[in-house]
Amino acid sequence: MKIVVCIKQVPDTAEVRINPETNTLIREGVQSIIKPYDMHAIEAGLQIREKTGGSVTALTMGPPQAETALREAISMGVDRGVLLTDRAFAGSDTWATAYALFKAIAHIGADIIICGKQAIDGDTAQVGPEIAEFLGIPHVAYIRKIEDIQANSIVVQRLMDEGSDVVESSLPVLLTVVRELNSPRLPSLKGKMAAKKAEIEKLAAADIGAEEDQLGLRGSPTQVKNIFAPGVKKDRRMLDGPAEVQVDILVKELTGLKCL
Amino acid sequence: MDYFLTEEQMMIRDLARQIAEEKVVPVRAELDEKGEFPWDIMRTLAQSDLFGLFIPEEYGGLGKATLELCIAVEELSRACVGVSTTYAANALGTFPILLFGTDEQKKKYLPDIAAGKRLVAFGLTEANAGSDAGGTQTTAKLERNEYVINGTKQWITNGGEAEIYTIIAITDRSKGPRGASAFIVEKGTPGFTFGKKEDKMGIRASATTELIFDNCRIPKDNIIGKEGMGFVVAMKTLDNSRTGVGSQGVGVAQGAFEEAVKFARKRVQFGHPVITFQAVQHMLADMATSIEAARSLIYAVSRFIDSGAKDVSKESAMAKLFATDIAMKVTTDAVQVMGGSGYMKEYPVEKMMRDAKILQIYEGTNQIQRNVIGQALIKEAARNKS
Amino acid sequence: MFIKIDRDKCTGCESCISSCPYDAILIREEKAEITELCQMCRACLSVCPEGAIAEVREPSDEMEKGEGQGVWVFAEQRDGVLAGVSFELLGIGRNLAGMLQADLSAVMFGASDADARELIRWGADVVYHCPDPVFNAFNDEPYAGLLSELIKEYRPEILLAGATPIGRSFIPRVAAKLKTGLTADCTSLAIDAETKDLLQVRPAFGGNIMATIVCPNSRPQMATVRPRVMKRGVYDESREGKIVVIHGEHLRSGTKVKETIKEISEVSVNLQEANIIVAGGRGTGGEKGFQLIVELAEALDATVGASRAAVDEGWIPYRHQVGQTGKTVCPKIYIACGISGAVQHLVGMQSSDIIIAINKNPEAPIFNVATYGIVGDLFEVLPVLTRRIKEVKGR
């Protein structure tokens, strides 16, 4: 079984703030991590390999520093790391990202493609299903359990609003996973040593036969018009005084509004 | 301080620390309270290759040695000595096979041990034989192709949980200490059972039981080395494992020290954090100094052992003695720095203090370590005179 | 774009058949034919000795600005019951259509004609309804396939869908197919007065920052919106509209739903239907602090909520979590205690009618969305508040 796990290295977003004067992101001192859901994707790939044999390839798109994320994946037991890196990819939105990853996956070849549920860097949860559409293969999103896997099919549980669906899919298939699916393993020493030595394959736009006008900013249908820190509610009322007084005012207001 | 660790040694430290922080710290209080064996953590250690650290590469290990093992033990002990005891006792039980086992024995057992599939225990102590190994009463009699073992081992770490036991039994009482031999006994062998699990003051996550042999028959080939080599096997095993116990001391002292510093920065008395008071600073200074001294000694002795030195009894005894005595002192002082809070189970230092006590007792009490050092000094003095 | 075989040139030599990685070419009546399995990979273009296979560019495939018109909402159903988010989408859709002076249409797969009429009463001018049984269970490919077909045919300017497990799963496939932008989890939508573009606001970077996204050139402009973020429109019993029935017999799926397991967590239902929610965050400091939250909630007959920080600390189970990675709620009163107000939390509760924030730090962003702000220690404020509430309620 050929398994490809798409991962993304992102800044630890709990730390990201916005500069209120310039309205730009403050990223200094923010550590990069593999996005949390991707750890579950890697674990799922490794578990499938343990059952069916085969190989797990970690694929990421980003600047050369994104190699760190691939090495981290290798330290967990992934066989191979592929970095999609080219200035042509810069500024890609989800459509252009999905297109580039699709081209890379078509180049590498895969029976099962696994993505995290969403990137904390954008939280869009779109890339996985878009890749599946480009590849012309089925996908199942938000899977929380893999029930069975055969040479030509897989049965998974998909999380829905009020429970879950048991879904059977033909292969090749793309899966996006949720946290519940597994608990990601820690790296192993042999893995860490392998990760240090591992040769990370680098692919550029030309290597995967991607069309330039579909990539990066040019290939992105959406644009970020502006970013801003959330503003203040217009009718806000800050209360004053000791706790007793504040509570009194509040209870009076609420009673006045017939809320109690 | 920078100990000029290699890149791989730092990798081992970082991984052991990650496991300690992510997998051990969150559960240590519960394991302690329930006296629960840390199987989940052992599985994580296995998956992370840490059981194979000191086992040669040809048997599926990583081919590292004493210093690397000490680094891993230290990091685990920083979080929980109960867990590190389980891990270190596995190494202790493996040393007899590693040092004296035949090729067949190594091929049979080491790969599983390296993969963490089967846990090991070492059985020396008995009711009448602790510090005095000569008092061993368990016997092994050769009957055709089998040894028949009878007797009871006491306070055996990993007892009941381990699948492979390396034990010492008397094969020829008339020869005194030269009449002991070492054997491998597997769990499940008829006639081999376990006593009840002991209820201990500290290291409560680790399992301690009796090993009971009642006409337990094992293949003749399960002897380690030759008949009569039992005490040599035991002593060499202990020579190799003492630095590990010392590392447990360094680790638990470091853990307690960090808790004390964290607390002293937060706790305000007389309008200031208590860390601003000299009385507290001096205690912390002494704690930090003795930890660094102990770590330096452990690393130096480990490197000495790894250099291939022949006789390491004195040095390894010094390392164990010094590091575990400071562990008791530092953990006690950590409780003192934290005052009433330190005494409460809400904070981890009271557990660390309970855990530290065993380090002065097991694998040769610190009194016995002083004997070992003393005897070595006598030998050296005699040699220098001539 | 599509691949076409010139039947006059084709000799039926079959050399193209093996070139297709998707088995999309078959021979019928001695001529090659491209089936719907075609993924337009172009592998066959070069193999035909007669040059009978050609790529046909349809200008209609990628829609551009100025081409589309009308606002569409995808009206989602589960087990034949319309999801509440459908009516909310019609609410915001009506506003957008008003600003564009365009029609509002709904697309509904599955469910009944009666449901289609219900959508009209909630504000739709036209309902495209495909009642085919293929939609009895949710499978991405027929959903994405048919919606893409309809969009190509009718060319809406805007398409909105619910950010539900269904919408988030298949809508991206539609965006990929049509080469257009999709903005997930929008918290507000408006029309740019000048460019007439859809302004799509969503939290970014784990939710500490908001971003306005536009899709200036491609059409339709697509966005998903989480349930309970938008208000429903006006229900009008007498509204009239048009229902267009769509056929779906040709739709295929590589996935099959074998079984559906129902699990309804009482708490999550309560959170979403609660009139009052009392929620605690990191400032509660632990289970002790949460006890004060629970006591106030009991006095108010309210439901207990929590921020991600409190859930991550293990003080309260995940099912109580409000926010982007938890539930989106919209109660009459939301009382946030010791919650700093990361956007990730705010997007899950800021459409509540009245928000009361209690926090020690006067700079906490939670005060930005608060109706009433109390700067103070929750350990002091909550017991007093609980006591006063009990007095007022005469308990």
Residue range C66-85, pLDDT digits in tens: 667 899 999 999 888 999 99
* C214: enclosing H helix or E strand: strand C209-214
> Is residue A215 classed exposed, middle or buried when 0-12, 13-18 and 19+ CB atoms within 10 A define those classes?
buried
User: What SS3 state is found at B272?
Assistant: strand
Structure tokens at B112: 């599983």
Question: Taking a C-beta distance cutoff of 8 angstroms, is the pair A71, A195 a contact?
Answer: yes
Gap from A91 CA to chain B (nearest CA, Å): 35
| Cβ C284 vs Cβ C293: under 8 Å | yes
**Cα–Cα dist A163/A155, whole Å:** 16
Burial of B184 (0-12, 13-18, 19+ CB in 10 A): buried
CA distance C22 to C38: 7
Residue A154: is its pLDDT beyond 90? yes
pLDDT at residue number A121: 45
pLDDT the model gives residue A189? 94
> Is residue C24 a contact partner of residue C53, using CB atoms and an 8 Å limit?
no
- pTM for this one? 0.80
Tell me what ipTM this predicted complex has.
0.86
To test the contact with chain A by mutation, choose from C37, C57, C146, C169 the residue with the greatest count of A C-beta atoms within 10 A, namely C169
Give the model's pLDDT for residue A25: 56
Asked if residue A36 has pLDDT above 80, the reply is no
Measured on CA atoms in the order A61, A62, A63, A68, is the torsion positive or negative? negative
Q: Which of B173, B83, B191 is nearest to B129 (CA)?
A: B173
Closest C-alpha to C106, from C136, C129, C134, C140: C129
For position B297, what pLDDT does the model report? Answer: 98
User: Residue written as tokens 């998909």?
Assistant: A158
Q: Which pLDDT tens digit goes with each residue over C20-54?
A: 777 788 888 888 888 767 766 667 877 888 888 88
Say yes or no to pLDDT of A119 above 60.
no
Alpha-carbon distance of C270 to C273, in angstroms, equals 5
Q: Are C198 and C186 in contact (CB under 8 A)?
A: no
CB-CB neighbours of A204 under 10 Å = 14
Higher pLDDT, A65 or A6: A6
Enter the tokens of residue A177: 């996973």
Query: In the Cβ-directed half-sphere of C29, how many Cα atoms lie within 13 Å?
Result: 3
Distance from CA of C184 to the nearest CA of A (A): 5
- Residue C60's pLDDT is 45
Q: What is the pLDDT of residue A24?
A: 57
Mean pLDDT of chain C: 88
B62 to A190: CB separation less than 8 angstroms, yes or no: yes
Across the interface, whether the CB atoms of A225 and C205 are under 8 A apart is answered no
**What value does the mean pLDDT take over residues C133-140?**
93
pLDDT at A217: 80
Is residue C59 over pLDDT 50?
A: no
Contacts with A, C 22-51, CB within 8 Å: 22, 37, 39
Residue C183: band (very low, low, confident or very high) from pLDDT cuts 50, 70, 90: very high
Mean pLDDT of chain A: 86
Of A18, A139, A257, the CB nearest to C140: A139
Query: Does the pLDDT value for residue A122 go beyond 60?
Result: no
Side chain identity, residue C108:
M
Closest to A186 (Cβ–Cβ): which among B22, B52, B53? B22
Burial of C73 per CB tally in 10 Å (0-12, 13-18, 19+): buried
Q: Is there a contact between A193 and A175 (Cβ–Cβ < 8 Å)?
A: no
The predicted pLDDT at position A75 comes to 95
CA distance C37 to C16: 15
Q: How far is Cα C201 from Cα B199, in angstroms, rounded to an integer?
A: 61
Contacts with A190 from chain B: Cβ below 8 Å: 49, 62
Q: Report the Cα A245 to chain-centroid distance in Å.
A: 48
Burial class (CB in 10 A: 0-12, 13-18, 19+), C133: exposed
Place of tokens 């199987």: B39
Q: Which residues of A touch B62 (CB under 8 A)?
A: 189-190
Give the residue numbers of B marked as catalytic: 363
Taking alpha carbons only, the member of C260, C340, C300, C68 closest to residue C178 is C68
**Cβ distance C70 to C103 under 8 Å?**
yes
For residue C115, pLDDT beyond 90: yes
Cα A100 → chain centroid: 15
Query: Hey, which chains touch C, using 3+ CB pairs under 8 Å?
Result: A
Residue keyed to tokens 């550029």: A204
Alpha carbon distance B181, B229 (integer Å): 5
Separation of alpha carbons B281 and B275, rounded Å: 6
Of the candidate ranges B246-260, B342-356, C171-185, C269-283, the one whose mean pLDDT is the lowest: C269-283
- Alpha helices, DSSP H only, in C133-164? 140-154
Q: Between residues 48 and 87 of chain C, which touch chain A (CB distance below 8 Å)?
A: 78
Residue C234 touches partner A, C-beta closer than 8 Å: no
Contacts of A162 in chain C (CB under 8 A): 78, 262-264
Three-class HEC string of chain A: CEEEEECCEEECHHHCEEECCCCEEECCCCCEEECHHHHHHHHHHHHHHHHHCCEEEEEEECCHHHHHHHHHHHHHCCCEEEEECCHHHCCCCHHHHHHHHHHHHHHHCCCEEEEECCCCCCCCCCHHHHHHHHHCCCEEEEEEEEEEECCCEEEEEEEECCEEEEEEEECCEEEEECHHHCCCCCCCHHHHHHHHHCCCEEECCCCCCCCHHHCHHHHCCCEEEEEECCCCCCCCEEECCCHHHHHHHHHHHHHHCCCC
Distance CA A240, CA C263 (A): 45
Query: What pLDDT shows up at residue A15?
Result: 55
DSSP designation for C241? -
pLDDT in tens, A176-199: 998 889 989 999 999 999 999 999
Question: Per the CB < 8 Å rule, is A189 touching B47?
Answer: no
Residue of B8, B11, B55, B62 to mutate, interface with A, max A Cβ within 10 Å: B11
- Chain A contacts to B (CB-CB under 8 A): 185-193, 196
Beta strand pairing call for C372-375 and A237-239: parallel
Rounded distance, CA B200 to CA B35, Å?
9
C170 close contact with A: CB closer than 8 A: yes
C108 at the A interface (CB within 8 A)? no
Q: Which residues of chain B have pLDDT under 70?
A: 386
Q: Does C370 touch chain A (CB under 8 A)?
A: yes
Mutation test of the interface with chain A: which of B18, B47, B64, B71, choosing the one with the most A Cβ atoms within 10 A?
A: B47
User: For residues B70 and B248, is the Cβ–Cβ distance under 8 A?
Assistant: no
